[in-house]
Structure 1
Amino acid sequence: MSAPLVLPTLLGDAVRLRAFSPADLPLVREATTDPLIPLITSVPAHGDDDACRAYLERQADRLTTGAGYAFAVAEQSSDLAVGHAYLGLRDLDLGRATVGYWVARSYRGRGMAGDAVRTLTRWALTLRGVDRLELYVEPWNVASARTAASAGFVREGLLRSWQAVGEERRDMDMYSLVRQA
């Protein structure tokens, strides 16, 4: 699969998945204050504007390097960015893609993460070569597990010491969604 030259805009029920812009700097600043987001993503650990701008620039680079599609999750009504959704293509040659997401703390509990993941998933399964989507959730993160399930992902099992989070190895629950023939 060759990556498109322009990131598509995807519409969900209440969210719009779109390219990040400089106007999304306040979202990234807020994400830097979250105790977990900087540990499991490339969001900087401090709210320095230069570091936050560099994060925004890296999101566009993911498409140009072929690593994947990085979307700002924005409210449809206001276009205010509230989070991030990502489709990673590292294992595309094996028919697999990885879904990742986060929503800033002040916007959680409104169903936007679930809407974003469902929207991303519907689109991802239209891409040639994507037969399986994978998603990883720490076992304690019940809200994220519900988000994955609401998008049709099924828990497959526990991956022990799967990923470094901060300075320690953490278990992850593996979820998948498989293209229906």
Structure 2
Amino acid sequence: MLPDHLPRIEHPPVRLRAFEPRDAGLVVSVAGDPLIPLITTVPSSGSPADVQAYLERQHDRLPAGQGYSFAIADAATDEAVGQIGLWTSEIAAGRATTGYWIGGAHRRRGHAGAALAALTDWAFSLPEVERLQLHVEPWNEASWRAAERCGYQREGLLRSWQRVGAERRDMYVYSMVRQWDP
């Protein structure tokens, strides 16, 4: 049975933890990002009410049965730098999906790869998770390289997979499968 609480995962240089009110500044900082609000539930307005609603939604994901939403925090400072989730809508089939974003001011410091490694290790400690997958636009080299560094394998190109803004976009699909000891 999947955990009914959001754990705190220490994996220097990052820590995965619940979102806190002090993380509102991060959400405001990515509200104007050209991509993050289009493919996530981050509000594009950055208004205090919308940011508060976003933070509350992250806490509601687990009780609603959608999965686990973590703030990615710098392990040294505990400052939130992004978000990563483990989405469990297909867990009955042994599959889970992950996705992540890093605020612009915090990119190119290894946070995405470290967070993905931490989430992957934790997810595979759960008996229900046999396959993890993620989707990345082909142009997003930093994201798919982070996945590859963590051991994810590109399985193919999903044409017109997801609506991003007003258009459908292709996505690479990456996966990692549980390695069973014989």
Q: TM-score range by the shorter chain?
A: over 0.9
Distance (Å, rounded) in 2 between the aligned partners of 1:82 and 1:33:
15
Structure 2 match to 1:152: 151
Q: Which residue identity lines up with residue 89 of structure 1 in the other structure?
A: T
| Residue in structure 2 matched with residue 36 of structure 1 by the alignment | 35
User: What's the secondary structure of 1:16's corresponding residue?
Assistant: strand
How many aligned residue pairs are there?
Answer: 180
User: 1:3·1:66 contact (CA, 8 Å) conserved in 2?
Assistant: no
Q: How does 1:45-84 map to 2 (within 5 A)?
A: 45-84=44-83
Secondary structure of the 2:162 match is strand
Where does residue 173 of structure 1 map in the other structure? 172
SS at match of 1:171: strand
Match in the other structure for 1:112: 111
RMSD of aligned alpha carbons: 0.8
1:100 maps to amino acid: G
- C-alpha offsets along residues 15-47 of structure 1, whole Å, 9 cap, x if unaligned? 000000101000000110110000000000111
**Cα contact 2:2–2:128 (8 A) shared by 1:** no
Kindly state the Cα deviation for residue 3 of structure 1 after the two structures are TM-superposed.
Answer: 3.6
1:46-83 CA deviation, whole Å, 9 max, x = no partner?
Answer: 11011011000000100111110000000111110000
Counterpart of 1:20 in structure 2 is 19
Q: Is 1:134 the equivalent of 2:133?
A: yes
**Does the CA contact (< 8 Å) of 1:3 and 1:63 recur in 2?**
no
Residue identity matched to 2:20 = S
Separation of aligned partners in 1, 2:149 and 2:37 = 25
SS of the equivalent of 2:61 reads helix
Aligned amino acid, residue 93 of structure 1: A
* Structure 2: stretches of 5+ with no match in the other structure: none
Q: Which runs of 5+ in 1 are unaligned?
A: none
TM-score where L is the length of structure 1? 0.98
SS in 1 for 2:63: helix
Alignment correspondent of 2:99: 100
Deviation string 1:127-146 (CA, Å, 9 cap, x unpaired) is 12110000000011110011
- Stretches (4+) displaced over 4 A: none
Q: What percentage of residue pairs aligned between the two structures are identical?
A: 54
1:89 aligns with 2:88: yes
